[in-house]
Amino acid sequence: MSTAIHDTDRRIIDRYTDQPAGLPAELRHRIEAMTGAEPVLLYAFADIDDRYMLASAWVVLTRSHVVVVSPDGRFMAGDTVPSTSAAEGAGIRLIERWHVTAVHDSRGLSASTLTLTAARNEPPLLVVRYTNRQRRAFERIRFVLEEGIEGRDVPCGDPDLEYAAAIARPIRDTQALVAGRPTSVLLRLLGYMRPYRKELAFGMTAAALITAVSIAPPWIAGRLIDRVVGPAQAGTLDVGRASTIAWLAVAALAMVHVIRQAAALARLRLMSVVGEWVVRDLRSELYAHLQRLSLSFFARKKTGGLITRVTSDTDRIWEFLAFGIIDASLSIVMLIGLSVVLLSLDWRLGLVMTVPAPVFCWLIYRHGEKINPLFLRTWRKWSRVTDVLSDTIPGVRVVKAFNQEQREVDRFVEHNDDVTDEANNVHRMWTTFWPVIMLAVHGTTVMVWALAVPRLLGEGATLSTGTFVSFLLYATMFIAPIDVIGQMARTMHRATSSAHRVFEVLDTEPDVRDIQNAIRLEPVEGRVTFDNVSFSYDGVRQVVRGVSFDVRPGELIGLVGPSGGGKSTLVNLVARFWDVSGGVVRIDGIDVRELDGGHLRRQIGIVLQDPYLFHATVLENISYGLPGASPVDVIAAAQSANAHDFICRLPFGYETVVGERGQTLSGGERQRISIARAILNDPRILILDEATSAVDTETEREIQEALDRLIAGRTVFAIAHRLSTLRRASRLFVIVDGRLAECGTHRELMQVPDGRYRRLHEMQLSMQ
């Protein structure tokens, strides 16, 4: 685990929880001093006391001690717990690990209890309670203690890293990018525009030109009235000359509008195009990064959510880049510019217009804030509607089988009515707000009129008609920037949220990474060695526990045992889809973490129970791992997989499109295409994960024939529930609860009295 991830984890703990980000250094030194300089292996934070009140205590594991530290002196165990060793210093208690004979974990809804006992009828050595937030850290301690009791040593990493990762992981899984301030996200987003700075500069110039020339028409109108129309009507200016000046002014107005629209064209086109280029770059980077990420990332993120990030979120970013940034910045410039112009035209009328402007901006912002809970409520009710849809459309057979169509219709109508009511509440709010705010804006114009009329009329009028007309025209331009500035917070929030979601993916580092100068095995012999391997997907439940074996090249290993026992996980570790939590997996004697992952996986073929075919032709699916394979090789692979015949019966033979929305194939047919894909790839190590369990007996026979050809000369791991399919296995591994419970040939295992394999075999015989 990198230091950067550790720093993120510590930041998460500091920012989102009320507990320490690690064991205080001073405490660690005291513990080490009390335990004879034993280093701290693991630690966890107990946050509930014996009365189920929030508390804070540490449980620390060293090589030969369990240390309990409770600053307030409470040992989280009631007063029945005796100390097994003299405590030095207040609030610290040592328990020698050799005393512990059993570890019991009792899980409740929100609180679990870890009990360490010495002997059956003796009081517990330790009873400690904690919430689910601490569960990962305690689970690790429990696992190491249990293994220790069994005499097995579990290698532990850096305790600070393990603790921080255990606490922060659920939050990091929800939101990987932590403490990203909106401004830094925005700056990072703008950084993507750097390659297009020339176009951006043109776009900005065009937008600035639009703003600048927009100021001209009211000014021209005012001057025309005061200097030309007025004097001409009063007879102080020659009509012919006035007419010439007026036509020039009209021409100037026309020119201004032409320039303005030409600039608008340049600005709209340039910024739209630049926006598209930026999001194209983002989408490509995002997709390429997704392909780099480990399976663990996809296991904790919903597919729909990831697709949204590549599509809708980038689209929203485009909208912001193309229009949002310039609109917002130029609106501010426009508002300031207009204020200056209005105040310089007439400071008294100018004040009437400009003073309320910030108030209007603030009111629009407040309106956005106030409408948010309504949106949230509507969103919540929408999710109920979508829940009904996502429940009942895939489950329509069950609905029909139980004759519950009307009930589901009623349920949908109820939620649909509910969401409509909420949406109408939203509409009521904004449809009330906008007319009122516009009334207030127009109210200022009326105020301007009210103040202007006495100054326009009568003897010695102090306000010229032209100035007033200019003023009114400028006043109408005030509304648009106020609206944009008021909405800016929301626009920014939407854009930064989308950018945040995109950057979150980009900032996620793959859990499984190649080291520098990774080794390429050429050729791979196919020896697979597990040395005391442990693994957990979520850091809570140990799925593989201390498994060791050595498989020689060319061996066929049958993996059997109950569902959920860890068989598929073992083969995933061979392919290094995940990295082990403890121990080592070796291929040809080399730790898989030192091997080039991509190269290794090209040597491994996988045939799954439910094979995935892409929306592509049969040919493309078979040659997926070897693009450009010759038709002769593809046909030979399909023939070996017993697939050639049915492929030829398809409407377009090997060029028939299959997969989602393609030609419908049966489970057996899809399976045989996936076997052909594996045969063509010619892997040295082959993994068959329940390859024949989803098909009928006849198809199974055909697939089995294909598999028999496929496995020749390769190291094979075959997972099967039907033991009869493993008759050719060199050895059988019985995997129970993450452990290698039994290992041997069929004959050897059948001789184990009350053996797991023997029981399984007899049970299957009796069911036939």
Partner 1 sequence: MRGLTSRRREPSRTESQVKTETLRLEWSRAGRLIASIDGTEHAVTVSRCFPWSEPMAFLSLRDTEDAEVALVADPLSLDAASRAALDSALAGASFVFGVRAVIDLDEEVELRTWHVSTDQGERRFQTRLDDWPRKLPDGGLLVRDVTGDLYRIGDVRGLDRKSRERLWAFVD
Q: In what order do the strands lie in the sheet with 715-719?
A: 604-608, 685-689, 715-719, 556-560, 731-736, 739-744
Binding test (CB under 8 A) with partner 1, winner from 1, 87, 111, 249: 111
Burial of residue 443 (CB within 10 Å: 0-12, 13-18, 19+) is exposed
CA angle 15, 16, 19 (to 5 degrees): 90
Query: Is 138 or 196 the residue whose CB approaches partner 1 more closely?
Result: 138
What is the rounded distance in angstroms from the CA atom of residue 372 to the CA atom of residue 493?
Answer: 12
Binding test (CB under 8 A) with partner 1, winner from 272, 497, 532, 663: 497
Quick check: 380 binds partner 1 (CB under 8 A)?
yes
Query: Is 376 or 480 the residue whose CB approaches partner 1 more closely?
Result: 376
Q: How far is the CB of 9 from partner 1 (least distance, A)?
A: 14
Quick check: 304 binds partner 1 (CB under 8 A)?
no
Interface segment toward partner 1; rule CB under 8 A; list 11-19, 140-148, 513-521, 557-565 = 11-19
Structure tokens at 255: 């020119």
Interface segment toward partner 1; rule CB under 8 A; list 128-136, 244-252, 511-519, 611-619 = 128-136
Q: How far is the CB of 144 from partner 1 (least distance, A)?
A: 20
What is the rounded distance in angstroms from the CA atom of residue 320 to the CA atom of residue 186?
Answer: 11
- DSSP secondary structure of 92-131: EEEEEGGG--EEEEEE-SSEEEEEEESSTTS--SEEEEEE
Interface segment toward partner 1; rule CB under 8 A; list 109-117, 400-408, 442-450, 484-492 = 109-117
Query: Is 2 or 106 the residue whose CB approaches partner 1 more closely?
Result: 106
Residue type, 676: A
- DSSP secondary structure of 375-392: HHHHHHHHHHHHHHHHHH
Binding mask of the shown chain, residues 177 to 196, with x at each position contacting partner 1 by CB under 8 A? x--x----------------
Q: In what order do the strands lie in the sheet with 582-587?
A: 544-551, 528-535, 582-587, 590-591
Binding test (CB under 8 A) with partner 1, winner from 123, 155, 564, 598: 123
Query: Is 109 or 457 the residue whose CB approaches partner 1 more closely?
Result: 109
Count of residues in contact with partner 1, rule CB under 8 A? 48
What is the rounded distance in angstroms from the CA atom of residue 143 to the CA atom of residue 737?
Answer: 13
Residues 569-598, interacting with partner 1 (CB under 8 A): none
Burial of residue 29 (CB within 10 Å: 0-12, 13-18, 19+) is exposed
Computed on alpha carbons and rounded to an integer, the radius of gyration of the chain in Å comes to 37
Binding test (CB under 8 A) with partner 1, winner from 117, 467, 640, 642: 117
Binding mask of the shown chain, residues 65 to 104, with x at each position contacting partner 1 by CB under 8 A? ---------------x-----------------------x
Binding test (CB under 8 A) with partner 1, winner from 5, 23, 46, 48: 48
CB 744 within 8 A of CB 731: yes
Binding test (CB under 8 A) with partner 1, winner from 2, 24, 36, 107: 107
Interface segment toward partner 1; rule CB under 8 A; list 82-90, 167-175, 352-360, 706-714 = 167-175
- Element (H or E) spanning 165, and its range? helix 159-174
Quick check: 277 binds partner 1 (CB under 8 A)?
no
Binding test (CB under 8 A) with partner 1, winner from 11, 74, 99, 133: 133
Quick check: 367 binds partner 1 (CB under 8 A)?
no
Q: Which residues contact 142 (CB under 8 A, 6 or more apart)?
A: 103, 105, 114
Quick check: 17 binds partner 1 (CB under 8 A)?
yes
CB 43 within 8 A of CB 23: yes
Binding test (CB under 8 A) with partner 1, winner from 504, 620, 669, 690: 504
Binding test (CB under 8 A) with partner 1, winner from 52, 287, 434, 449: 52
- DSSP secondary structure of 4-39: HHHHHHHHHHHHH-SS-SS--HHHHHHHHHHTTSPP
Distance set, CA 120 to CA 124, 125, 148 (Å): 9, 11, 18
Give contact residues for partner 1 (rule: CB under 8 A): 16-18, 48, 52-54, 80, 104, 106-111, 113, 115, 117, 119-124, 127, 129, 131-133, 135, 170-171, 173-175, 177, 180, 373-374, 376-377, 379-380, 383, 497, 500-501, 504
